[in-house]
Amino acid sequence: MLKHWKVAVTIGLLAVCLGWAFYNGLVVKKYTVNTDKFNEDQSIRIVLIADLHNHIYGPGQSELLQLIREQEPDIIALAGDIADDQVPLMGTEMLLEGIQGIAPVYYVSGNHEYWSNDIRHIKDTIRKYEVTILESGYEKITINNSAIIIAGVDDPEVVKYEKRRSTWEEDFYQAFSELRKEPAFKVLLAHRPELIEIYKQSHFDLVLSGHAHGGQVRIPFILNGLYSPNQGWFPQNAGGMYDHGSLIQIVSRGVSFNPRLPRIFNPPEVVVIDIKGNRTIK
Ligand SMILES: [Fe+2]
C-alpha cells in the first residue's frame, strides 16, 4: 500500500514538473531600475515586447493586448523581430493596431525583419500605426514630469542589406556621440544583447534588447539559457537584468512561440520596467 502511495506521489510530482517546464502561456516579468536622474516621486513604466515573430496570441492578439493594457505603460518598446521572414505579417499588424492609443510606441528592427528581404515594406506597415521607428535616432520626451531620451538602432544586418561602407559599430558611435553631455535618463533599444561591450562604451543608462529567446532551455536557479543565436552555448545575456555599473541591461526572453523548438522553463514574456527616481527632493 505504502509503495503504491510513493509511486503515485512521484508520478504526480513529475507531472507538475513537466507542466511547469513546458508551460508556454504568456507571463509578465517585472524589473525596477533606480536612478538619481529622477526625483524620488518620479517614475516611468516601459512595456518591452521582443521577438513576436508574428505569432498570434488569441483572436486579434487579444491575450497579448490584454496583458499589455493591464500594465498601464507610459511607453511601449518593440525591440526587434516583431515581424518574421517566414510568417505573414498579420500578427504584427494585430499587435500594432491594438496598442494604438495605449502609450507612445517605439520600434527597432531585428535580424529576421532584414532576412525577409522586405524590410522597407515591414517598416512602412509599422509606420502606418503611428509607431516611431528608431534608426540610429532618438527622441527626447517628457512623461510624468520626467525627461527621458529614447534612442534606437537598426539590427546589425542593416549594414549588409543596405550595402553600407561603414561598420555598424562606427555608425552607432557616430549616431549618439552628441548624447554624451545630455543629462536626461537615456534608454537605448537595440535588438542584440551580445553587443553589450559596444553599448557599454556609449553613455546610455539603460539598454533594452531581445533576440536571445531566453536561451530556449532554462533550469531555474541553475541554468539561465542553454543556447542563444550569436552567443552560442550557455549564453551570458540570455534574458534578465544585468548590472554593468553605469549601464543597466535588460534582455527580454521574448514572446516567440515555435512548436518545433520548445521553450523549457522559459515561457514567453511581456517585460515591464519601472524606472524610479531616488533623488531626494529638497
Ligand atoms: Fe533576433
Domain boundaries, the chain: 26-279
Burial of 137 (0-12, 13-18, 19+ CB in 10 A): middle
Q: What is the pLDDT of residue 43?
A: 96
User: If you measure from the C-alpha of residue 254 to the centroid of ligand 1, how many angstroms do you get, rounded to a whole number?
Assistant: 10
User: If you measure from the C-alpha of residue 280 to the centroid of ligand 1, how many angstroms do you get, rounded to a whole number?
Assistant: 40
User: If you measure from the C-alpha of residue 202 to the centroid of ligand 1, how many angstroms do you get, rounded to a whole number?
Assistant: 22
User: CA-to-CA distance for 91 and 265, rounded, in angstroms?
Assistant: 24
pLDDT band at residue 261 under the 50/70/90 scheme: confident
Q: What is the pLDDT of residue 245?
A: 92
User: If you measure from the C-alpha of residue 228 to the centroid of ligand 1, how many angstroms do you get, rounded to a whole number?
Assistant: 10
214: left (phi over 0), alpha (psi -120 to 50) or beta: left
User: If you measure from the C-alpha of residue 211 to the centroid of ligand 1, how many angstroms do you get, rounded to a whole number?
Assistant: 4
User: If you measure from the C-alpha of residue 144 to the centroid of ligand 1, how many angstroms do you get, rounded to a whole number?
Assistant: 32
Instruction: Provide the grid cell at 230.
Output: 550569436
User: If you measure from the C-alpha of residue 78 to the centroid of ligand 1, how many angstroms do you get, rounded to a whole number?
Assistant: 12
Q: To which CATH superfamily is domain 26-279 assigned?
A: Metallo-dependent phosphatases (3.60.21.10)
Please give the helix or strand (H or E) that residue 47 lies within, else none.
strand 43-49
Q: What is the tens place of the pLDDT at every residue in 150-191?
A: 999 999 999 999 888 899 999 999 999 999 889 999 999 999
pTM of the model: 0.94
pLDDT band at residue 281 under the 50/70/90 scheme: confident
